[in-house]
């Protein structure tokens, strides 16, 4: 921690706007169809981390201070924060169908409460309402930036489903997938508010790179917590990735030390005892430690990118967010 950032609680700084985001999302999902409405609003209950709106709002505040003498967040920038959280939530509703997950944010998933068919439709519904909001911005560049996120999400998820890459290419494939499934949303949402702030190309690029690095660190820690945390803390199943056949950073690092893991990764841990063997080899290796080091490097890179930002509370809060990502336990 630096001297400046410890005074700034990022959530506190953006609190009025964050509260507003959640209620505005609920308003946009306020359809006459009672069951669809209940399902669509199910995760917007004020219990989520709202991590994406947080960085979007802080980025908007930090960049608006350049040029103009105000850090007031514009209506369109608030809409980007909403759209970002809605795309994220829609993708989670679908993700829980794909992963056959029964809990999320400490409660039953949409899928386990209402069934797969309705869960898929409600994910589509949230995504379609977010697309309407996006169109209402009447900004072609921002429409392109945020549509790219949706394409990346689908491609990232597809890459994860049935990959058969060479052992040498595996880590690259993992990083590419991680960008698409997690970092693209944060990177492009930051870029979208930068475009809306009319800041310089250099700052726009820095905003994108900040979001990308935060996103990479965020997912690396998520993949690490899958090995080290517990469902009661996370509010969603842990020790789940291996069972789903997924080799994430801790296993990929462990395989460099314990070559016998390569065969298990190739067959996606599908033989009896594979999951347990892989877990114990990861525990014996420095895979978790290496994963944390990589996440730390991304967090440091994110902080480095803020150096050209005009000094402000929002900038300090963004710096704080970069350290919070590493210390989160859920
Ligand atoms: C969570 O990952 C899932 C994602 C980050 C992306 C999921 C994307 C899709 C299902 C593509 C469809 C997209 C849209 C916009 C409808 P995880 O399973 O590793 O994390 P978890 O532990 O939180 O479930
Ligand atoms: Mg998944
Ligand atoms: Mg999942």
Measured CA to CA, the distance from residue 277 to residue 261 in angstroms comes to 9
CA distances from 173 to 18, 179, 180, 252 (A): 35, 10, 11, 11
Q: What are phi and psi of 102, to 5 degrees?
A: -105, -15
Closest to 47 in 3D by CA, of 73, 79, 24, 18 = 18
48 Cβ contact partners less than 8 Å away, ≥ 6 residues apart: 85, 89, 105
Residue 98 Cα to ligand 2 midpoint, Å, equals: 7
Tell me if 176 sits within 8 A of 163, measured CB to CB: no
Closest atom of ligand 1 relative to the 94 alpha carbon: 10
Tell me if 126 sits within 8 A of 93, measured CB to CB: yes
Helix pair angle (170-178, 140-161), 10° resolution? 140
Closest atom of ligand 1 relative to the 123 alpha carbon: 16
Residue 161 Cα to ligand 2 midpoint, Å, equals: 9
Structure tokens at 267: 């067959």
Tell me if 214 sits within 8 A of 186, measured CB to CB: yes
Tell me if 275 sits within 8 A of 269, measured CB to CB: yes
The pLDDT value recorded for residue 1 is: 46
The pLDDT value recorded for residue 69 is: 66
The pLDDT value recorded for residue 256 is: 94
Find the residues whose C-beta lies inside 6 A of ligand 1: 87, 90-91, 94-95, 98-99, 101, 123, 127, 150, 153-154, 157, 181-182, 236
Structure tokens at 8: 């700034």
The interface predicted TM-score of the complex, written ipTM, equals 0.97
- Look-up: residue for tokens 């310089």? 200
Q: Would you give per-residue pLDDT tens digits along the chain (330 residues)?
A: 445 555 678 888 888 889 899 999 999 999 999 999 999 999 999 888 899 999 999 999 999 988 776 779 999 999 999 999 999 999 999 999 999 999 999 999 999 999 999 999 999 999 999 999 999 999 999 999 999 999 999 999 999 987 667 778 899 999 999 999 999 999 999 999 999 999 999 999 999 999 999 999 999 999 999 999 888 888 888 889 999 999 999 999 999 999 999 999 999 999 999 999 999 999 999 999 999 999 999 999 999 999 999 999 999 999 999 999 999 887
Structure tokens at 143: 């429409």
Measured CA to CA, the distance from residue 212 to residue 38 in angstroms comes to 33
Three-state secondary-structure class, residue 174: helix
Residue 96 Cα to ligand 3 midpoint, Å, equals: 5
The pLDDT value recorded for residue 5 is: 52
Residue 284 Cα to ligand 3 midpoint, Å, equals: 26
Structure tokens at 25: 């999302």
Identify the nearest ligand to the CA of 104 by its number.
1
Residue 319 Cα to ligand 2 midpoint, Å, equals: 28
| Closest residue by CA, ligand 1 atom 11 | 154
Question: CA neighbours within 13 Å on the CB side: how many for 309?
Answer: 29
Tell me if 13 sits within 8 A of 317, measured CB to CB: yes
Ligand 1 probe mutation, 88, 92, 109, 225, most atoms within 8 A of CB: 92
Closest to 217 in 3D by CA, of 257, 175, 254, 252 = 175
Task: Name the strand (E) or helix (H) holding 42.
Answer: none
């Amino acid at each position: 921690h630096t001297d400046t950032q410890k005074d700034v609680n990022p959530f506190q700084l953006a609190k009025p706007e964050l509260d507003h985001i959640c209620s505005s999302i609920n308003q946009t999902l306020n359809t006459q169809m009672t069951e669809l409405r209940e399902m669509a609003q199910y995760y917007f209950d004020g219990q989520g981390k709202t991590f994406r709106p947080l960085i979007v709002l802080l980025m908007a505040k930090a960049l608006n201070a350049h040029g103009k003498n105000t850090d007031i967040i514009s209506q369109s920038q608030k809409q980007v924060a909403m759209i970002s959280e809605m795309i994220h939530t829609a993708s989670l509703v679908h993700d829980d169908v794909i992963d056959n997950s029964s809990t999320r944010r400490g409660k039953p998933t949409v899928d386990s409460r209402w069934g797969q068919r309705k869960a898929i439709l409600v994910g589509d519904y949230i995504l379609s309402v977010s697309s309407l909001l996006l169109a209402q911005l009447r900004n072609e560049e921002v429409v392109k930036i945020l549509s790219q996120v949706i394409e990346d999400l689908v491609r990232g998820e597809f890459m994860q489903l049935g990959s058969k890459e060479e052992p040498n290419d595996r880590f690259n494939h993992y990083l590419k997938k991680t960008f698409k499934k997690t970092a693209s949303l944060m990177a492009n949402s930051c870029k979208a508010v930068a475009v809306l702030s009319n800041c310089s190309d250099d700052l726009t690029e820095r905003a994108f790179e900040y979001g990308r690095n935060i996103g990479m660190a965020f997912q690396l820690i998520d993949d690490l917590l899958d090995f080290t945390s517990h469902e009661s803390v996370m509010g969603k199943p842990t020790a789940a990735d291996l069972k789903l056949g997924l080799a994430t950073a801790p296993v990929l690092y462990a395989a460099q030390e314990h070559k016998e893991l390569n065969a298990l990764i190739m067959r996606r841990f599908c033989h009896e005892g594979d999951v347990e063997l892989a877990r114990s080899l990861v525990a014996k290796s420095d895979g978790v430690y290496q994963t944390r080091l990589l996440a730390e490097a991304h967090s440091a890179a994110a902080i480095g990118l803020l150096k050209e930002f005009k000094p402000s509370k929002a900038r300090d809060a963004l710096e704080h967010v970069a350290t919070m990502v590493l210390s989160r336990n859920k």
